[in-house]
Amino acid sequence: MVKKIHRLIIASVFGLIALSVIQGYLIRNTYILEKESFINKANKTISRIDDYTPAVDSINEVWQTLFVKTLDSYNAKFIKKEDVLQRLRKITDSLNDSFVAEYNRELATKKLNYDLKFHKIIKNIVLYDSIHHDTIFKENKELPYRLLGDAFDHNGEHQISNSLWHTDRSGTITVNGVERPIGYELNFETQDYINIEGWQRIILNNMSLLLLLSIVIFAFVIALLYYSIKSLITQKKIADIKTDFVNNITHELKTPLATLSLATKILKNEPVVVNAVSVEATVNTIERQNKRLQNLIDQVLNNSLGYKEIQLKKERVPLQDYLHTIFDDFLIAVNEKEVHVDRRIQLTNEVVLIDKFFFTTALYNILENAIKYANKDVEITLIASCEKSFKIVIEDNGIGISQENQALVFDKFFREGNKEVHNVKGLGLGLYYTRQIIMAHDGTIKVTSIKGKGSRFEIDIPIN
């Protein structure tokens, strides 16, 4: 059973790990999909502005016309290569403010709930003629050459498209009265980028319900597993305790039953039956064993009562006398010489309202255990006081109770599973019953103990 529980725990842990990996994978995929769809939407918005805004179109036309003229001058060798990009910069700088303004005006009509920025960068500018090709600009990842649009950080950007502007030029141009031929093909590659402020947060916000549900379901599964395993362990403990009880009671019943059977055999024996002394002795044995059996049954029946079933008949009890009497009687019942009791009774004339019969039973159970579970010389310390409440502490120097079992000793049928305890007779009902009696008095009982050194039981009874 223990192995089964271990296997179940290991399987559950693996199951949970697998579940979290799958869950993590699904969440990651959802995140990627959400990101793609989010960027696609932004992309569509930008494309629509690009395609359907006449003002943006005409700005594009203006810079392209001006730039082609610059290239014509370059191709006809009126200007140098370095001047081409400088002129392009001048042209686009002069147009960029109106370009951005047009874009933003259009963006405002789309009523987006995030801040969308856009720009075009130049990837390549290459001129081809019949003999060779001439690279005017080559993309540089570190320092992208912004053509038009907003300035934004390279880190948070997303590329949304690539475009190629191709045009053929041929003919002549005249500059300052000088006419020269031109002839080239232009390949002008650009890339469009967008930047959305806090896009991760926006995507996570969109996924918040999914994330929340995942966490809740995950927590629910863990709680369910924890609860199932815990109740399985409890069930196992209860099953063990019941088996122990059956073993204990069978053991207790064996001796009187064997004696009774022997006595019956003796009484069937003729020479014994005629001998009055033998008959009397045997009948006495039968009586004693019968009483023992009766006691055992009473113990099981009475000591199994719950605190609600205990009917108290409370009376005013002068504490000092009461406690001394209990200890005197107890010392007479056990062999006084073997037991040393240190009484620290800090009481004068205090009187409390308790059921003397039940309360005595409760104290006796603790005192008897101090003898049952003793090491060699029994030392019992009794501390009693009555201020705000009536407090009794009974300490012994016995075998002690392990830390993990201290909370269990008040459970019905619980006995520690070690060898020392199994050598001592018992049904595991004494402390259970003691606690029920104390609870019926609205009090509390607790135990602290050090294995091998002794145990300390503390009873606290309210006096109002």
- Residue 226 Cβ vs ligand ADP, minimum distance, rounded to whole Å: 28
Cβ-based nearer residue to ligand ADP, 390 or 414: 414
Cβ-based nearer residue to ligand ADP, 116 or 409: 409
Q: How many CB atoms lie within 10 A of CB 33?
A: 12
Q: What whole-number distance in Å separates Cα of residue 345 and Cα of residue 382? A: 7
Among positions 333-392, residues that touch ligand ADP (CB under 6 A) are 365, 369-370, 372-373
432 binds ligand ADP (CB under 6 A): yes
Cβ-based nearer residue to ligand ADP, 1 or 407: 407
Q: What whole-number distance in Å separates Cα of residue 193 and Cα of residue 162? A: 9
Site string for ligand ADP, 443-462 (x = CB under 6 A): ------------x-------
430 binds ligand ADP (CB under 6 A): yes
- Residue 260 Cβ vs ligand ADP, minimum distance, rounded to whole Å: 23
Cβ-based nearer residue to ligand ADP, 256 or 430: 430
Q: Which of 431, 437, 459, 461 binds ligand ADP (CB under 6 A)?
A: 431
Q: Is 276 exposed, middle or buried (0-12, 13-18, 19+ CB in 10 A)?
A: exposed
CA distances in angstroms from 159 to 117, 285, 426, listed in the order given: 12, 102, 81
- Report whether 303 contacts 433 (CB < 8 A): yes
φ/ψ of residue 4, rounded to 5: -60, -45
Cβ-based nearer residue to ligand ADP, 51 or 377: 377
Cβ-based nearer residue to ligand ADP, 72 or 416: 416
Query: What tokens were used for 374?
Result: 């003793």
Nearest residue to ligand ADP, scored by beta-carbon proximity: 426
- Residue 434 Cβ vs ligand ADP, minimum distance, rounded to whole Å: 7
435 binds ligand ADP (CB under 6 A): no
- Parallel, antiparallel, or unpaired: how do β-strands 454-462 and 444-450 relate? antiparallel
- Residue 247 Cβ vs ligand ADP, minimum distance, rounded to whole Å: 12
427 binds ligand ADP (CB under 6 A): yes
- Report whether 433 contacts 365 (CB < 8 A): yes
Cβ-based nearer residue to ligand ADP, 306 or 462: 306
The secondary structure of residue 133, as a DSSP letter, is E
Q: What whole-number distance in Å separates Cα of residue 79 and Cα of residue 70? A: 8
Q: How many CB atoms lie within 10 A of CB 451?
A: 14
- Residue 422 Cβ vs ligand ADP, minimum distance, rounded to whole Å: 9
SS3 154: coil
330 binds ligand ADP (CB under 6 A): no
184 binds ligand ADP (CB under 6 A): no
- Report whether 146 contacts 119 (CB < 8 A): yes
Query: What tokens were used for 293?
Result: 């059996």
Instruction: Give the total residue count for the chain.
Output: 464
Q: What whole-number distance in Å separates Cα of residue 410 and Cα of residue 457? A: 11
- Residue 444 Cβ vs ligand ADP, minimum distance, rounded to whole Å: 17
Site string for ligand ADP, 386-425 (x = CB under 6 A): ----------x-xxxx-------x----xxx----x----
Cβ-based nearer residue to ligand ADP, 427 or 438: 427
The amino acid at 357: F
195 CB-side CA count, 13 A: 14
- Report whether 196 contacts 116 (CB < 8 A): yes
Among positions 2-31, residues that touch ligand ADP (CB under 6 A) are none
Among positions 147-166, residues that touch ligand ADP (CB under 6 A) are none
75 binds ligand ADP (CB under 6 A): no
The torsion defined by the Cα of 36, 41, 45 and 51, in degrees rounded to 10, comes to 70
Q: Which stretch binds ligand ADP (CB under 6 A): 13-21, 158-166, 251-259, 430-438?
A: 430-438
Cβ-based nearer residue to ligand ADP, 103 or 433: 433
- Determine the size of the site formed for ligand ADP (CB under 6 A): 23
Cβ-based nearer residue to ligand ADP, 117 or 415: 415
Q: What is the DSSP string of 337-375?
A: GGEEEEEEEE-SS-EEEE-HHHHHHHHHHHHHHHHHT--
Which residues of this protein are in contact with ligand ADP, per CB under 6 A? Answer: 365, 369-370, 372-373, 396, 398-401, 409, 414-416, 421, 426-432, 455
